[in-house]
Structure 1
Amino acid sequence: MLKTLSIIGGKIIDQKITWGLGGSLLLSFYNLEDNPNDIDILVEENSTYKLNQMLSTIGQRKEAVSTDPFRTTSFSKYLIENMDVDVMGGFAIQHHEGIYKMAFNSLSIVDSKTINGVSIPLCSLEDWYILYWLIPNKQNKALLIEEFLKNSGVKHPQILKQALKQPLPFEIKERVKALLKASVL
């Protein structure tokens, strides 16, 4: 999986594309996930076409079907080096309070990890904390991130504050507020 990620990163390097790693592989870098099953890449909406063009030269494009509650603008799937890769631009999820759209841009990249000599941009745990509360059947991952952030501190409070400006279920807003308050103490 890491080899595939470094191949992808090597292909994208110097292309002026804002992208970042998320999902279970991101969680594995924080020892919150033992068995990531695919590679999740977030990309700035205006770069999705360019990124998809590049990835199609190193992998096989697969059928990507967007289902409820997802309202992601651009969703693509690839098989690269026998590894499933999901590419999402304009990641959005509908819930009973409206549609939450992740504000993905260069400020969403908070760290990087060098793999096989290639720098891989990393999304924030704070963004994925919100997303995992909203993605069906992923709340266990949100709880893992919550515990991690309680213990190590919220490193990127501005991301959580920005999330609070969007439609979110009351329960999630309360958890985010509590997490932010705890990190100040």
Structure 2
Amino acid sequence: MAKAEQKIELLKDIAHRFNEAHIMWALGASMLLYFKGITSEFHDIDLMISTADVQRVRTILSKMGEIQPPNPDPKYQTKAFMEFVIDNIDVDVMAGFSILSNGELFDCSLQESQIVENILLETELIPLQSPLLWCKYYRLMGRTEKVKMIEQALANR
């Protein structure tokens, strides 16, 4: 498994390409929590993008690595889910992210207003969604450990 530093280097490379192409995107899930000091580990890179940018993102990331065959999960009704392996690192890309919870479909698509912060990694801006928003998403997914971790971290601030 790639080290955190390798994943961060890859994120910077992706950020450079996305920002240069004016892609609307944000970092989400565990890597977001890592940068916010809520968790000390993350396994992959989860990127939220606008549905308008799906084809351009597919083109950009296909030049960097290999797209994986679709492996749909019925819990998610995401409009476009793409998984890439780049430098032995999993990169998941979601556009029109939707979660099916208790028989109800929740639209969790990236909205520009959800980009609450940008962090600078060397020369690259990384747009972030809020940990509170991801707490809501994890609750809808039934990921109670993640919900507790985020709530505890936010309560201690």
Normalized against structure 1, the TM-score is what?
0.77
Within 5 Å, which residues of 2 pair with 1:32-181? 32-136=38-142, 138-152=143-157
Does residue 5 of the first structure (1) align with residue 11 of the second (2)?
yes
- Measure how far apart 1:103 and its partner are: 3.9
Question: What is the root-mean-square deviation of aligned Cα atoms in Å?
Answer: 1.4
Unaligned stretches of 5+ in structure 1? Answer: 153-185
- Contact preservation (8 Å) 1:32, 1:144: yes
- Contact preservation (8 Å) 2:118, 2:126: yes
SS in 2 for 1:68: coil
Query: What whole-Å deviation, never above 9, does each CA across 1:86-130 have from its counterpart, x for those lacking one?
Result: 000011111115101114121111111222321111111122011
Cα distance in 2 between the residues matched to 1:135 and 1:117: 34
Cα distance in 2 between the residues matched to 1:59 and 1:79: 6
- The amino acid of 2:147's aligned partner reads A
Q: Which has the higher contact order (CA 8 A, sep 6+)?
A: 2
Question: Are residues 62 and 116 of structure 1, via their aligned partners in 2, closer, same or farther at CA, if it must alter by over 3 Å?
Answer: farther
- Measure how far apart 1:27 and its partner are: 0.5
- Contact preservation (8 Å) 1:102, 1:127: no
Once the two structures are overlaid, the 10-residue window that deviates more, 6-15 or 143-152, is: 143-152
- Measure how far apart 1:149 and its partner are: 2.7
Percent identical: 28
Cα distance in 1 between the residues matched to 2:70 and 2:147: 25
Cα distance in 2 between the residues matched to 1:95 and 1:141: 16
- Contact preservation (8 Å) 2:81, 2:93: yes
Answer with 1 or 2: which has the greater Rg: 1
Q: Show structure 1 runs of 4+ deviating over 3 A.
A: none
Unaligned stretches of 5+ in structure 2? Answer: 1-6
Query: What whole-Å deviation, never above 9, does each CA across 1:130-165 have from its counterpart, x for those lacking one?
Result: 1111224x211111112233333xxxxxxxxxxxxx
Aligned residue pair count: 151
- Measure how far apart 1:14 and its partner are: 2.7
Normalized against structure 2, the TM-score is what?
0.90
SS in 1 for 2:11: helix
Cα distance in 1 between the residues matched to 2:66 and 2:109: 28
SS in 2 for 1:50: helix
Aligned twin of 1:19: 25
